[in-house]
Amino acid sequence: MEAAKKGIITPEMEIVAAKEGLDFKKLMALVACGQVAIPANNRHHALSAEGVGTGLKTKVNVNLGVSGDCKDYTLELEKVKLALNHGVEAIMDLSNYGKTNTFRKQLIERSPAMIGTVPMYDAIGYLEKDLRSITPQDFMRVVRAHAEEGVDFMTIHAGINKRTIEAFKRAGRRTNIVSRGGSLLFAWMEMTGNENPFYEYYDDFLAILREFDVTISLGDALRPGCIDDSSDASQLSELIEMGHLTKRAWAKDVQVMVEGPGHMSINEIAANMVFQKKLCHNAPFYVLGPLVTDVAPGYDHITAAIGGAIAAANGADFLCYVTPAEHLRLPDINDVKEGIIATKIAAHAADIAKGIPKARDWDNKMSDARRKIDWDTMFELAIDGEKAEAYYESTPTEEKHSCSMCGKMCAMRTTNMILEGQTVTFHSEE
């Protein structure tokens, strides 16, 4: 950010400008004013930089990590490989069991995608202390450790403070606090009587992030955990605090992303995007869903994709995937794939709606292939070509230039034949 303010083009800016097909001077101006963030820790040498923010393609994040009930590092690395093969731009390591840096170091060493973490999750295991005994300086040690390892962005729940907790207690929410990091900080504050250390010592945390060029992702500790809690005083009071924290970070040349709502009915999503962009000075918005209904466990990758598409079409810049296992268990590798595909569909649909340059070209190429009944090209262009081809091959057809849905009555085939001056027949003549 400092380089952009001084008119200096960094290698990361050049990479992002080339990926986005954007003039590098325009990109530099967006980075300088904070509307675009390029999370790129100066120790993450495998990184292929990505930009998040105004005028850029909607990015997708995948959450992974080891937990007490699933300690298999090999399985998590298989999920990493799957995510990278599907072209996700970010991976968040949410490990919360044991010495989590074992997995994180491998992740940073091999991943071209940007890596994010939530230091609050790691604090208890890393420090081997009970929550109540952890000091602000202890939290700072964990943040520094993650920065030194090469993490590109960190979720820091600095917006939950004594003022926002007062609003939360007055609100009488149906699902209270559903953010894991937010609930831990709330418990720490209530047990110790102290202010949120990430808020009280915010400038000290910013100094660490600035040293390693880590982007701060301002975590929404008070995000709604059900549609009945959305757009309430708790959520909005924290958003106001995050707007103030955004400007303080920018003043220290620390890039910012702001995290958004978790559950929200469809009719509120567009307005919430306007609130965030207004209150947080057009900082990039990182949306956790939003899930548009609470009654679809097992299908929450779909409820999140619906909300994510609407959110991104109305200004959100970064979508966190949700898997079918959400609210039920840690996702297996198939859940991860389903979550990635659903979220990539949402992101691409939003990019078309936002008029992102060349976003529609992909769909036009698919439509051309469909008109020509060119199956190989269709499978090549598909978001999940492997699944598309498997579906096609599962019910063999009499003619290659059709599928089992319509057979010889394929509309494309019929129209093509007539336009080429051929006669359409369905029965062989005796």
Residue numbers belonging to the annotated binding site for substrate:
63, 92, 121, 157, 179-181, 220-223, 259, 286
- Six-digit token pair at 38? 């390029």
In DSSP terms, which residues pair with 198 in a beta bridge? none
In terms of DSSP bridges, do strands 285-287 and 90-93 run parallel, antiparallel, or are they unpaired? Answer: unpaired
Taking the C-alpha atoms of residue 304 and residue 83, their distance in angstroms, rounded to an integer, is: 18
H or E segment to which residue 115 belongs? strand 114-117
**Which segments are annotated as binding site?**
63, 92, 121, 157, 179-181, 220-223, 259, 263, 286, 327, 403, 406, 410
Taking the C-alpha atoms of residue 21 and residue 396, their distance in angstroms, rounded to an integer, is: 41
- Six-digit token pair at 170? 């007055």
Q: Do you know the residue count of the chain?
A: 430
DSSP letter assigned to residue 153: E
End-to-end CA distance of the chain, in Å?
78
Taking the C-alpha atoms of residue 356 and residue 350, their distance in angstroms, rounded to an integer, is: 9
Using DSSP, state whether 49 is helix, strand or coil.
Answer: coil
H or E segment to which residue 415 belongs? helix 411-419
**Which segments are annotated as binding site for [4Fe-4S] cluster?**
403, 406, 410
Q: How far, in Å, are 10, 44, 310, 344 from residue 146 at the CA level?
A: 23, 11, 33, 28
Strands (E), 184-334: 215-218, 256-259, 285-287, 318-320
Helix extents (H) in 132-232: 136-149, 162-171, 180-192, 197-200, 202-212
DSSP letter assigned to residue 182: H
Beta carbons of 339 and 331 less than 8 angstroms apart: yes
Taking the C-alpha atoms of residue 132 and residue 191, their distance in angstroms, rounded to an integer, is: 7
By C-alpha distance, which of 251, 352, 271, 348 is closest to 308? 348
HSE, CB side, 13 Å, CA atoms: give it for residue 246: 28
Residue 156 corresponds to which amino acid?
I
Q: Bin 80: left if φ > 0, else alpha if -120 < ψ < 50, else beta.
A: alpha
**Which segments are annotated as binding site for Zn(2+)?**
263, 327
Beta carbons of 127 and 60 less than 8 angstroms apart: no
Taking the C-alpha atoms of residue 304 and residue 326, their distance in angstroms, rounded to an integer, is: 10
